[in-house]
Amino acid sequence: MAGLDDLEGMEKLRAIMAALRHPVTGCPWDLEQSFATIAPYTIEEAHEVADAIERQAWGELPGELGDLLFQSVFHARMAEEAGLFTFDDVVEAINAKMIARHPHVFGSESNQKSAEQQTKDWEALKSAERGQARVLDGVALGLPALMRAVKLQKRAARVGFDWPSTDEVMEKLREEMAELVEARDTLGAAEVEEEFGDLLFVMANLARHMGVDPEAALRGANAKFTRRFNRIEDWLAEAGKKPSDSDLAEMDALWNRAKAEDKAKKAAKSASSEASGD
């Protein structure tokens, strides 16, 4: 750790990582890690960044971004030890990629393009870089399943494989729901899982058609469920009870109370925003 006080910024962070991975004096846990064992933490840290943004927890965001940055430093350090590449290679790669993929900013192309056209150009450049032979090549397997479903559907839609409106998607949703019920009633667990997956895939497609981010929508639903169930616990505690002391009828009534409370707060907030001119 000697000499860290003389360092700043990225140089200091990289020195900390090197010290953690020192074969003699380093941290035993850090020394045991590999790309495979660290990858889940990388995904988790990315989700924690998204969570802080979703909650508008701006005071937490620098720390969460730092945690995510540390993941890149960790992977790069392991790669350097294995003779694969260095952190400088990582930085140069992203620099080169950003310049190459923004010819309307760093090149001679006009920057008077719509966001939609820029997205199409971005995807075309990505495909050319990867030399993709198939439409769905390059959609990362490690993405959250809902996010990957949307990306797969977007790729297919670019070559015309898509429903023209939400009406057709809704009809497909009803069809998949009926197939799930049939699987539940007449088939085995494997078929039920398959049909359930089909239903989720169509739900992701519906989200895409309606301009909804399914991951964000589900995070919001999770937060709402947590908030309302916490209120149920609060009210039960006021009565000297725990959820395990209650029953479904009582908790369902409290859920409806929490739901009404949520709606009232939302209406009050909306009225306040309108009054202030926001």
Question: What's the pLDDT tens digit per position in 23-36?
Answer: 999 999 999 999 99
* Closest by CA position to 71, among listed 79, 60, 82: 79
Distance of CA 162 to the CA centre of its chain: 24
**17 CB burial (10 A radius; 0-12, 13-18, 19+):** buried
4-100 matches 133-209 in fold: yes
Q: What is the percent of the chain where pLDDT is above 90?
A: 64
Query: Rounded to an integer, what distance in angstroms lies between the CA atom of residue 138 and that of residue 157?
Result: 16
Q: Write down the pLDDT at residue 224.
A: 92
Is the separation of the CB atoms in 26 and 20 below 8 Å? yes
What is the mean predicted confidence (pLDDT) over 74-94? 96
Query: Rounded to an integer, what distance in angstroms lies between the CA atom of residue 35 and that of residue 71?
Result: 10
Helices within the chain (DSSP H only): 9-20, 28-32, 35-54, 61-81, 87-100, 103-106, 115-130, 145-158, 166-186, 189-209, 214-238, 248-276
Q: pLDDT tens for residues 167-223?
A: 999 999 999 999 999 999 999 999 999 999 999 999 999 999 999 999 889 988 998
Q: Write down the pLDDT at residue 1.
A: 47
The CATH number of the domain covering residues in 133-209: 1.10.287.1080
Query: Rounded to an integer, what distance in angstroms lies between the CA atom of residue 169 and that of residue 50?
Result: 28
Quick one: tokens of 135?
Answer: 């439409």
Q: Write down the pLDDT at residue 129.
A: 64
Quick one: tokens of 198?
Answer: 């089909």
Region of poorest pLDDT, from 120-124, 134-138, 181-185, 253-257: 120-124
Domains of the chain, by residue range, sit at 4-100, 133-209, 214-272
Q: Write down the pLDDT at residue 47.
A: 87
DSSP state of 4: G
Domain 4-100 of CATH type 1.20.1050.10: no
DSSP state of 187: S
Q: Write down the pLDDT at residue 77.
A: 97
Backbone phi, then psi, for 32, in 5-degree steps? -80, -15
Is the separation of the CB atoms in 150 and 140 below 8 Å? no
